[in-house]
Amino acid sequence: MNAPRFARSGRRSRGRSESLLLVATLGALLALCGWVLAKWEGVVAAFMVALFLLATLRFAPANWVLSMFGARPVRRSDAPEFFADLDALARAAGIGAAPSVYASRNPLIVAATLAGAGAPAIVVGRKVPQVLTPRELRAVLAHEIAHIANGDLPLMQLGRALTAVTGSVSRFALMLLIIELALGLFDRIALSWWELAALALAPIAANLVLLALSRSREFGADAAASRLTGDPMALASALAKLDRLQAGILERTLPGFDVARIPTWLRTHPSSEERIERLLGAR
């Protein structure tokens, strides 16, 4: 299937290249940990485990994961206009059948898309339809559809698998080292200081790269959603409203907590201000 017309742009190509570079960085960090653990055998074993985890993520039905977090499926008969918009967006994006939709009771969830066996699923926070206008809600749905059309879901699954296995290999190697030290087997320890540093720092670096990968895909989905709807103002307005909603929930839950103080490099999403500026053409 050819890429949908709305998604074809030089900026999208640059965003895809950046994302692939970040995934390659994750692969390099995993290879480094595998090499320190057991040279080439460790590298091969680490990537085999990563592939197994990726297959598990890919073929586990999305509704299993959603049901674990208390999300419930939304029936078409309960929201016909909502699903009419979703069907229209899916057709325009060229992704085939529209994804299933789940409602989440988690107040911090706004909207997200999960991949798995079968069709992807969109989970929407229960307060989102109450806060947004139909035009703004359609823009949010377009953003989630854009993630599917842009191929972000398998890319993020790959990134999560590489990051998870990097952490596991690092912990396993450090645990073996601690056991050898406890048993007094100092003569068996042949790791240099840089190898120890690599084992300790690789999981931290991998998580930071994964966050950067997530942020890079958000900008691409925003741009694609704007082209899909032809209404970037609606998405910008929705982002501002949802940002205030989440800030209010966090303030009630954690008094004194300010989301704005979290550095950008520790976030899964860019700041709403930066996303809005890009949507409105300020950058």
Residue 256 pLDDT exceeds 80: no
* Per-residue model confidence (pLDDT) at position 159: 95
What pTM does this model have?
0.84
* Per-residue model confidence (pLDDT) at position 283: 46
Over residues 223-247, mean pLDDT:
91
DSSP 12-55: HHHHHHHHHHHHHHHHHHHHHHHHHHHHHHHHHHHHHHHHHHHH
- For the chain, percent of residues with pLDDT exceeding 70: 88
* Per-residue model confidence (pLDDT) at position 96: 85
User: Average pLDDT of the chain?
Assistant: 85
Over residues 67-74, mean pLDDT:
81
Residue 63 pLDDT exceeds 80: no
* Per-residue model confidence (pLDDT) at position 185: 59
Backbone angles phi and psi of 102, in degrees to 5: -125, 145
Over residues 239-249, mean pLDDT:
85
pLDDT tens, residue by residue, 18-27: 889 999 999 9
* Per-residue model confidence (pLDDT) at position 3: 46
Work out the angle at residue 151's Cα, subtended by the Cα atoms of residues 43 and 93, and round it to the nearest 5 degrees.
Answer: 175
Residue 186 pLDDT exceeds 70: no
Q: 40: burial class by Cβ within 10 Å (0-12, 13-18, 19+)?
A: exposed
Over residues 126-155, mean pLDDT:
93
* Per-residue model confidence (pLDDT) at position 109: 78
Compute the distance between CA of residue 15 and CA of residue 23 in angstroms, rounded to an integer.
12
- The mean-pLDDT minimum among 72-76, 186-190, 195-199 falls in 186-190
Residue 134 pLDDT exceeds 70: yes
pLDDT tens, residue by residue, 21-53: 999 999 999 999 999 988 999 999 999 999 999
- Tokens 């994750």 appear where? 26
Tell me the pairing of strands 121-125 and 100-104.
Answer: parallel
> What is the total residue count of the chain?
283
Rg of the chain in Å (alpha carbons): 21
* Per-residue model confidence (pLDDT) at position 257: 66
Whether 243 contacts 131, CB under 8 Å:
no
pLDDT tens, residue by residue, 160-184: 999 999 999 999 988 888 887 777 6
Q: From the CB of residue 199, how many other CB atoms can be counted at a distance below 10 Å?
A: 22
pLDDT tens, residue by residue, 72-106: 999 999 999 999 999 999 999 999 889 999 998 87
Helix, strand, coil: what percent of the chain each, to 5? 70, 5, 20
Q: 207: burial class by Cβ within 10 Å (0-12, 13-18, 19+)?
A: middle
* Per-residue model confidence (pLDDT) at position 268: 81
Backbone angle region of 16, left / alpha / beta, with phi > 0 → left and psi within -120 to 50 → alpha: alpha
In single-letter form, the type of residue at position 135 comes to R
* Per-residue model confidence (pLDDT) at position 62: 76
* Per-residue model confidence (pLDDT) at position 114: 87
Over residues 98-124, mean pLDDT:
85
| Lookup: tokens for 168 | 């596991």
